């Protein structure tokens, strides 16, 4: 499936909760738009998810559910490679090599580590700290040219670029230096109840997020309950993050510009706007859920997608790792 004529694109999501609108608008929507022009690899990064406590049975179920949701959102396994991270052992092998050229200081500066340490104060494990090295391995293993991410992942991607450059300088040209692809809008969808923080799939308060599998009624209710600010104008305004976030979501879902939405709702109330937004989210979710319900039941199809994905990814990953092992001075095993 590797297409030498197309640039390589890589992205992934950790199965650490329910896929939400933030993940869709910040990542998956762009994947779908880029998969024709790129040789794309989309990961379900289950190894990353272990940095936070998981229930094994739920994790297993969620991984398969994520694959079905990727497909339901428009990722076509005939065009793109869908792969579960733990199916390709080279991810952790390359991580080890990269960890010896990563400084503690670099990892200490990662804001996601600081945020997650606060959020999971009882479980600040080494994996949480070294997470960005595994992410660098995910990207560099496939010689990715382009990595679509939300703004929250920009710092991690910078580290991947630094490590690729460092390795290339220290040994010799080995890795492609990946470019970030951060969407102009949708890069940061905010929480519905606390619009100062981003919408996160693992948020314990489910009213903060709309998941891709929320029923249309639940989605409408969550929009109705979303925090709006004092004031009544439906306008983009930095000092009113609640309504601004809802406006941005509506613009992304409907494809209408912010300016045209502001005009449409001039003189109307928050409740009018929320009703329209709730309906448009419900309309957006319905066909995705319909397709999801079809795909998730077809276990043999999902299995074939994953087998094909693992086979393709394994071949490419092994090629890079063999090169890396040779460059760092490892002897090939005797046959």
Catalytic positions, written as ranges: 116, 198, 201
Euclidean distance between CA atoms 295 and 290, whole angstroms:
9
Q: How far is the CB of 236 from ligand AQP (least distance, A)?
A: 17
Q: Are 290 and 68 in contact (CB under 8 A)?
A: no
The structure tokens listed for 278 are 């709730």
Which residue's C-beta sits nearest to ligand AQP?
26
Nearer to ligand AQP, 219 or 324 (CB): 219
**Binding-site string for ligand AQP from residue 106 to residue 145, where x marks contact by CB under 6 A and - marks none:** ----------------------------------------
CA distances 260 to 16, 109, 164, 219, 237, Å, are: 36, 41, 44, 24, 15
Contact between 51 and ligand AQP per CB under 6 A: no
Contact between 97 and ligand AQP per CB under 6 A: no
Euclidean distance between CA atoms 97 and 228, whole angstroms:
48
Euclidean distance between CA atoms 95 and 98, whole angstroms:
5
Question: Which of these ranges, 54-62, 99-107, 196-204, 233-241, lies near ligand AQP under the rule CB under 6 A?
Answer: 196-204
Q: How far is the CB of 248 from ligand AQP (least distance, A)?
A: 10
Q: Are 167 and 174 in contact (CB under 8 A)?
A: yes
Among 8, 10, 17, 227, binds ligand AQP (CB under 6 A): 17
Q: How far is the CB of 50 from ligand AQP (least distance, A)?
A: 12
Contact between 327 and ligand AQP per CB under 6 A: no
In the chain, what is the greatest distance between 2 CA atoms, to the nearest angstrom? Answer: 77
The structure tokens listed for 166 are 């460092």
Contact between 208 and ligand AQP per CB under 6 A: no
Contact between 188 and ligand AQP per CB under 6 A: yes
Residues 210-249 that bind ligand AQP (CB under 6 A): none
Contact between 40 and ligand AQP per CB under 6 A: no
> Considering CB under 6 A, how many residues would be counted as binding ligand AQP?
21
Q: How far is the CB of 292 from ligand AQP (least distance, A)?
A: 18
Q: How far is the CB of 170 from ligand AQP (least distance, A)?
A: 28
- Determine the distance from the C-alpha atom of residue 116 to the mean position of all C-alpha atoms in its chain, rounded to a whole number: 16
In what helix (H) or strand (E) does residue 95 lie, and over which residues does it extend?
Answer: helix 90-99
Contact between 102 and ligand AQP per CB under 6 A: no
Among 82, 84, 187, 249, binds ligand AQP (CB under 6 A): 187
**Binding-site string for ligand AQP from residue 20 to residue 39, where x marks contact by CB under 6 A and - marks none:** --xx-xxx------------
Euclidean distance between CA atoms 196 and 299, whole angstroms:
40
Q: Are 275 and 204 in contact (CB under 8 A)?
A: no
84 forms beta bridges with 44
Contact between 160 and ligand AQP per CB under 6 A: no
Q: How many of the other CB atoms lie within 10 Å of CB of 172? A: 9
**Edge-to-edge order in the sheet of strand 146-148:** 81-84, 39-44, 8-13, 146-148, 179-181
- Give the interface with ligand AQP as residue ranges (CB under 6 A): 13-14, 16-17, 22-23, 25-27, 149-150, 152-153, 187-189, 198-202
């Amino acid at each position: 499936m590797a297409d030498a004529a197309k640039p390589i694109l890589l992205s992934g999501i950790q199965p650490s909760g329910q896929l939400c609108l933030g993940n869709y608008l910040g990542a998956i929507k762009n994947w779908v738009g880029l998969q024709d022009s790129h040789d794309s690899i989309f990961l379900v990064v289950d190894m990353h998810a272990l940095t936070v406590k998981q229930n094994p049975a739920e994790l297993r179920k969620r991984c398969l559910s994520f694959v079905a949701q990727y497909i339901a959102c428009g990722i076509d396994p005939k065009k793109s490679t869908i792969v579960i991270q733990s199916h390709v052992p080279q991810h952790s092998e390359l991580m080890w090599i990269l960890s010896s050229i990563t400084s503690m200081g670099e990892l200490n500066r990662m804001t996601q580590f600081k945020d997650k340490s606060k959020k999971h104060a009882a479980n600040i494990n080494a994996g949480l700290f070294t997470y960005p090295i595994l992410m660098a391995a995910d990207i560099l293993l496939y010689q990715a040219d382009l990595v679509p991410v939300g703004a929250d992942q920009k710092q991690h991607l910078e580290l991947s670029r630094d490590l690729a450059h460092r390795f290339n300088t220290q040994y010799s040209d080995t890795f492609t230096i990946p470019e970030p692809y951060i969407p102009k809008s949708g890069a940061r969808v905010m929480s519905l109840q606390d619009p100062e923080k981003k919408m996160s799939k693992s948020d314990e308060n489910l009213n903060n997020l709309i998941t891709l599998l929320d029923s249309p009624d639940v989605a409408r209710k969550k929009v109705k309950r979303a925090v709006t600010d004092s004031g009544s104008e439906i306008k983009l305004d930095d000092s009113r993050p609640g309504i601004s976030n809802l406006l941005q979501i509506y613009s992304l879902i409907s494809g209408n510009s912010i300016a045209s939405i502001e005009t449409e709702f001039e003189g109307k109330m928050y409740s009018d706007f929320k009703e329209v937004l709730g309906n448009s989210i419900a309309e957006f979710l319905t066909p995705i859920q319909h397709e999801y319900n079809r795909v998730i039941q077809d276990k043999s199809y999902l299995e074939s997608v994953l087998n094909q994905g693992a086979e393709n990814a394994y071949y490419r990953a092994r090629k890079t790792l063999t090169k890396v092992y040779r460059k760092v001075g490892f002897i090939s095993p005797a046959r």
